Structure 1
Amino acid sequence: MAQRKGCLIGCGVALVLGIGAVVLLLFGIGKIADVADKTLLDPGVYTSVKTGDPEAAVREKLPSGESFVKGALKEGGPAEPGGSSCSWYLSSGDGADSTVFRFCFKDGKLAEKVEYEMK
């Protein structure tokens, strides 16, 4: 009887750990999809906008940019222009794994766009 009870406890623990691993896996996949949806930008979009373009028109072409990797994208980039509001994106182009696009807006217009390699 004790042997059977120990087996049931062991199976229960294994089941709980297995369910926990599946939940963590799904959470991780969700976070990766979140980053892709909110921070990846096609290089064609970067080249299509010009400084001086209206902020609303540029932002229509951009994903939200709000994700947990935003802080990492900021690091290693050039200084932000004073008084501007900036957004950072990863390039979705082939072979551009660490290319960052930064768009800075001031007074309702695109004040600066910068492309740099993430460090």
Structure 2
Amino acid sequence: MARRNGCLIGCLVAVVLGIGVLVLLLFGIGKVVDVADKTLVDPKVYEAVKVGDSETEVRAKLPSGQTFVESALKDGGPAEPADSQCSWYVSSAGDANTVLRFCFKDGKLAEKADYRMK
């Protein structure tokens, strides 16, 4: 009887661990989808906006960009313009290593830059 209970407990532990791994996997997939929704920008949008355009108009065309990967996107890019606020995105084109940066100052797009992520 003790052997049977040991096997039952072992099976229950395996099932609980399997469910835990599945939940973590789904959570991870959800985070990846969330990052994609908040950071991917179509290169056509990048090309369409021009330096000097209104910040409000430009930001209306962009996703929020607020994700935990923002610090990784900052690495390797050109220096940010002084006194500006920048947002970093990933190009939705086939190459996911292209970073698109938009910097705003005084309510206008002060600079846009694209570069390869390191």
How many residues are matched? 118
Q: Structure 1: give runs of 5+ residues left out of the alignment.
A: none
User: What TM-score, normalized by structure 2, do the two folds share?
Assistant: 0.98
Give the unaligned 5+ runs of structure 2: none
Could you tell me which amino acid in structure 1 is paired with residue 113 of structure 2? V
Aligned identity (percent) is 70
Cross-structure match for 2:73: 73
Q: In structure 2, what residue type is equivalent to 1:49?
A: V
Runs in 1 of length 4+ with deviation above 3 angstroms? none
Residue 51 of structure 1: aligned partner: 51
Whole-angstrom distance in 2 between the partners of 1:111 and 1:97: 24
1:103-118 to 2 correspondence within 5 Å? 103-118=102-117
Query: What is the one-letter code of the residue matched to 2:53?
Result: D
TM-score with structure 1 setting the length? 0.97
Q: Deviations over 1:25-45 (max 9, x none)?
A: 111101110111000100000
Letter in 1 for 2:75: E
C-alpha displacement of 1:15: 1.1
The residue identity in structure 2 corresponding to 1:117 is: R
What displacement does 1:97 show? 1.9
Indicate yes or no: 2:18 matched with 1:14. no
Q: What displacement does 1:68 show?
A: 1.0
Residue aligned with 1:104, SS: strand
